[in-house]
Amino acid sequence: MTVTAMSVPTQPGVREQVSADEWQTRVDLAALYRLVAAEGMTDLAATHISARVPGPDDHFLINPYGLMYEEVTASNLVKVDLNGEKVMESPFPVNPAGFTIHSAVHMARPDVACVVHTHTAAGMAFASVETEVLPLSQTAMQFYGRTGFHAWEGISTDLDERERIVRDLGQNRALILHNHGLLVAGPTIPASWVLIFQLERVCRTQLEAMAAARAMGTDLVLVPVAVAEKTAEGFDQSLRNAAEGRTNFDWDAHLSALDAEDDSFRH
């Protein structure tokens, strides 16, 4: 199916108003919204993905409230400050309450370029049982000892909660929000894409393995701690490589896949 830019609500003229770096961030972030949608990790108009605008200002890009992720484009992303207030004119509304969790992470972690938060069934289930990320698969080991947990406090409306989110995330790359969902914080947009894709899979895999083991009355086969830690350190290095521009995790392949289906995210 070919989709023209005309069929999605864009904001003409944005490209001319922003720096080349910001425009690239907008294209990449819009692509990430589309990838998350393509993997079925959306929740209607709820949840957000945010990215830091390159440069000295604490400015961030976030989705226009009320659009499905399939309609997010480079130009309709809204630029906001740490309080979720618009810093550039936009006809699209934002949901400042939904930005609270994101702003907490961006305030505390300037090394984080992109924060992804989801409400998937597997993510919510994982976040609602007393467990932690087990060294159960190679995929899981990138989160082994690198995942924080945040106790449930009700719907996040309290700005004080930001301090506790920051404390619970620490220097980790993932945060399990109890009874609520998942969050990843990566050094680049492509890194955050890989992290959320993999964390989703980790949650589902672990829940399925736990269920099967329990039904059969067996224990899970876990990797020894030293091996898990060594493997996790390898993943630490690949995130450092991403931060330093040595890998983009085959981002072009993902963009090509999107382009083949619907390239309106670029507008």
User: Closer to other proteins at the Cβ: 41 or 61?
Assistant: 41
83 near other proteins, judged by CB under 8 A: no
Contact (Cβ atoms closer than 8 angstroms) between residue 233 and residue 240: no
Whether the Cβ atoms of residue 125 and residue 203 lie closer than 8 Å to each other: yes
**At its nearest, how many Å lie between other proteins and the CB of residue 192?**
22
Q: Which of 11, 95, 142, 248 binds other proteins (CB under 8 A)?
A: 95
Least distance (Å) between residue 248 CB and other proteins: 29
Minimum CB separation from other proteins for residue 96, in Å? 10
Give, as ranges, the residues between 155 and 194 that touch other proteins (CB under 8 A).
155, 157, 178-181
The correct pick among 6, 20, 44, 216 for binding other proteins (CB under 8 A) is 44
With tokens 């400050």, the residue in question is: 81
> Do residues 60 and 42 lie in contact, with contact meaning Cβ atoms separated by under 8 Å?
no
Task: Indicate the SS3 state at residue 61.
Answer: strand
DSSP state of 6: G
Q: Among residues 112, 58, 121, 108, which one has the least CA distance to residue 84?
A: 58
How many residues at the interface with other proteins, by CB under 8 A?
A: 43
By beta-carbon proximity to other proteins, the closer residue of 106 and 180 is 180
Of residues 151 and 226, the one with the C-beta less far from other proteins: 151
Cα torsion 170, 173, 178, 182 to 10°: value is 150
Q: Which of 13, 56, 91, 154 binds other proteins (CB under 8 A)?
A: 154
Told to check if 129 binds other proteins by CB under 8 A, we report: yes
Residue 200, Cβ neighbours under 10 Å: how many? 22
CB of 2 to other proteins, least distance (A): 10
Cα separation of 133 and 207, whole Å?
10
- Report helix, strand or coil for 195: helix
- Decide: is 137 part of the binding site for other proteins (CB under 8 A): no
* 18, 26 contact by CB (below 8 A): yes
Q: Do the bridges between strand 147-150 and strand 174-177 make them parallel or antiparallel, or are there none, so unpaired?
A: parallel
Per CB under 8 A, the list member of 122, 182, 184, 185 interacting with other proteins is 122
Q: How far is the CB of 253 from other proteins (least distance, A)?
A: 24
Distance separating alpha carbons of residues 40 and 123, to the nearest angstrom: 12
* Distance, CA of 79 to CA of 30 (rounded, Å): 13
Asked if 238 interacts with other proteins (CB under 8 A), we say no
Q: Does 65 bind other proteins (CB under 8 A)?
A: yes
Cβ proximity to other proteins, 44 vs 253, nearer residue:
44
Residues at the site binding other proteins, with contacts judged by CB under 8 A:
1, 3, 7-9, 43-46, 65-68, 70-71, 93, 95, 119-122, 124-131, 152, 154-155, 157, 178-181, 204, 206-207, 210-211, 214
